[in-house]
Structure 1
Amino acid sequence: MHRAAHDMIPETALDWHRQGRQAAIATVVETWGSAPRPVGAQLAISGEAELAGSVSGGCVEGAVAAEALEALSDGTARLMEFGVSDGDAFAVGLACGGTIRVLVEPVGAALPEALLAELVAARAARRAVGVETRLAADPAGPVTPMPGLAHRLIGYADAPARFDADRSGFDAEAPRRFIAIHNPPLRLAIIGGAHIAQPLALMARETGYDVTVIDPREAFASPARFPGERLMHDWPDAALKAHGLDLRCAVVLLTHDPKLDDPALMVALPSPAFYIGALGSTRTHARRRERLAAAGLAPELIDRIDAPVGLDIGARSPAEIAVATLAQMTERLRRPETRPGRTPVPGAPVPA
């Protein structure tokens, strides 16, 4: 698992700060119209005017960087508002312009180094974490000094809807309370290197998942069949324990073999994974339920399985089944109310 360079803004800013090069982090906190970057997008600026990330797709980065250097000079955060013209918006691929509001915070002054280090550690440990920032005043102009910001880290239980939706933003009930969401990258564990797994791995990777194919049969989970994917040849239960399952993980079982699928389900079902889908007909799933119940799993955990796997779109070919499965994964991720059964509390341990 790795994060793309554009998603390493807290890490980059902390490194620059600790190297004595100074650093500030700019965060998009509000947008109106067709803003080039979403709320929560970040840009790191060093004391030498180096840039990492983006808050506007290039439209106003220079102005943000100039203000960040001023913030590094006096140690005071700033809240800035920019209008993105139609011409600038067109240059970054949008039909029309909009307005963005950006908060710039110098590290070690307005943004405490200890809090940033705690955020970086949480991200490295794949913990869903948010940074709550309480503004000291309402915006008073295009550039508003923001002394006295208050920060704290929050967890999933503090704002579950925001974590589920990957949506940073101000709290409607507390207009000066901004929450920046830092979710771990999405991961997909595919049990069984079957024919459906090949298009599913490709599509999932394009959708932003880190994919792992688990199959003790090396002929099925081979580099030739899954070029570029992470492959594990341990038995599925051992492999899933080594892989780790959290609230940003999906598990899809495609072997159609109880010897492989059932041990994987014994690990996956008590975990916080947001999606667990299993290939097989309604009759096959009924027998699966009987086996899992006999093995001691509670009915509410067995109910978590999406089976037959995928949305019912009449899919027939392996690629169509992969489309249906990825669509169902997306629905379960973005609309938690559609998840079957009971989702364990995030952070619950996976059975040893």
Structure 2
Amino acid sequence: MQDADDIPRIALDWHRDGKGAALATVTQTWGSAPRRVGAMLAISGAGDMAGSVSGGCVEGAVVAEALEAIGDGEARHLEYGVADGDAFAVGLACGGTIRILVQPMGGALPEAVLADLVAAREARRPAALITPERGAPRLETRGFEERFRADRSGFDEESGDFVAVHNPPLRLIVVGAVHIAQALVPMARIAGYDPTVIDPRAAFASEARFPGTRLMEDWPDDAVRALGLDTRTALVLLTHDPKLDDPALNEALRSGVFYIGALGSTRTHAKRLERMRAAGFTEAECARIHGPIGLDIGAAGPAEIAVSILAQMTQVLRRGA
């Protein structure tokens, strides 16, 4: 995974190594702010950075504030925008405005709370880091299901607390180490997914074809059970072979994966649905399968098909099925 997906752990490691650390989190945005609410930046006492709160517009100013916060242990509430007098120096030239909360480790942000957050993320459990207007931050793993589903951080209207949602990192599981998968995997990685490719055919699932990618030469149903399927997982079936696709599809339909896509023509998909109904799945469950896979953008060739698949995954993730 990219470092940006491990920001809490990086901050915790810096703190435990004696460097000092702070977490900066976007709490509110207006206009064309470059990062969404909940975006994070970790800063060490030596000025190291991981992540981003503005795509580079105000990071320098935030680091300076964070270093002061690490020194005195006090949180900082910052605001930057194009209306600032020094907009082009530390403001947002894109025209937006953002508010940022800076929390130094061991001071405003207790080590134990961040350690629990890191543990929850490693266990792929959704968690919410709650920062009240007054009082110490705390971690909650229940009671924020709607925010978890929408992946939406923000201020709670009733309590006024800031709720930073920490969902498990996105995963992509691809069954079938085919040409489309070779294009899809690097695209998905850029989009923030942690990809795994499953194919019992060793000649297909090779390091040469998928450099730096986790490969599993197992039967798909065994592999997806070993990986575990959850609401932050997308499953893409690309083999065209029912004896490989269907076992994984059975596992996926019994799980909470947010996206299931299967390659094949309309006729192939109709036969697939017949097999799923015969296996006991309802019409509503079968309707979760996106087939033929991908948005209809007139794609031609493996790379364009991969684009259509990633676009459909994004659409379902952000707007729902």
| Cross-structure match for 2:101 | 103
Distance 1:229 1:314, change over 3 A: same
Q: Return closer, same or farther for 1:177/1:201 CA change in 2, 3 Å cut-off.
A: same
2:161 is paired with a residue whose SS is strand
In structure 2, the residue matched to 1:117 is: 115
Runs in 1 of length 4+ with deviation above 6 angstroms?
Answer: none
Q: Deviations over 1:242-275 (max 9, x none)?
A: 2222211111111111111111112111111111
Separation in structure 2 between the aligned mates of residue 200 and residue 45 of structure 1, nearest angstrom: 33
Residues 278/121 of structure 1: CA separation in 2 closer, same or farther (3 Å cut): same
Deviations 1:207-247 (A, max 9, x none): 22222221111222233433333222111111112222221
Q: Say whether residues 1:324 and 2:308 are aligned partners.
A: yes
In structure 2, what is the equivalent of residue 152 of structure 1? Answer: 139
Aligned to 1:82, what secondary structure does the other structure show? strand
Query: How far apart are the structure 1 equivalents of 2:309 and 2:15?
Result: 44
| Residues 1:115 and 1:273: Cα distance change in structure 2 (over 3 Å) | same
1:132: which partner in 2? Answer: 130
**Aligned with residue 186 of structure 1, among 152, 170, 173:** 170
Q: Name the residue aligned to 1:308.
A: 292
Hey, what does 1:273 align to over in structure 2?
A: 257
* Pairs aligned (count): 318
Give 1:287 shift: 2.5
The equivalent residue for 1:345 is none
Q: Is the 8 A contact 1:119 1:153 kept in 2?
A: no
CA distance in 1, matches of 2:48, 2:191: 30
Q: Distance in 2 between matches of 1:106 and 1:269?
A: 43
- Measured in 2, the distance between the counterparts of 1:243 and 1:298 equals 25
Secondary structure at 1:240 match in 2? helix
| Normalised TM-score (structure 1) | 0.79
Residue 87 of structure 1 is matched in structure 2 by 88
For structure 2, list consecutive stretches of 5 or more residues without a partner in the other structure. none
* Structure 1: segments with no counterpart, 5+ residues: 137-147, 340-352
Give the counterpart letter for 1:27 in structure 2. Answer: T
Cα distance, 1:57–1:313 mapped onto 2, change above 3 Å: closer
Instruction: Report the 3-state secondary structure (helix = DSSP H, G, I; strand = E; otherwise coil) of the residue aligned with 1:116.
Output: helix
| Alpha-carbon distance in 2 for matches of 1:45, 1:202 | 28
User: Whole-Å Cα distance in 2 between the matches of residues 181 and 97 of structure 1?
Assistant: 26
Structure 1 residues 291-300 or 273-282, which shifts more?
291-300
Q: RMSD in angstroms over aligned alpha carbons?
A: 2.8
- Residues 297 and 87 of structure 1, relative CA distance in 2, 3 Å threshold: same
Match of residue 247 from structure 2? 263
- Contact 1:76/1:106, CA 8 A, preserved across alignment: yes
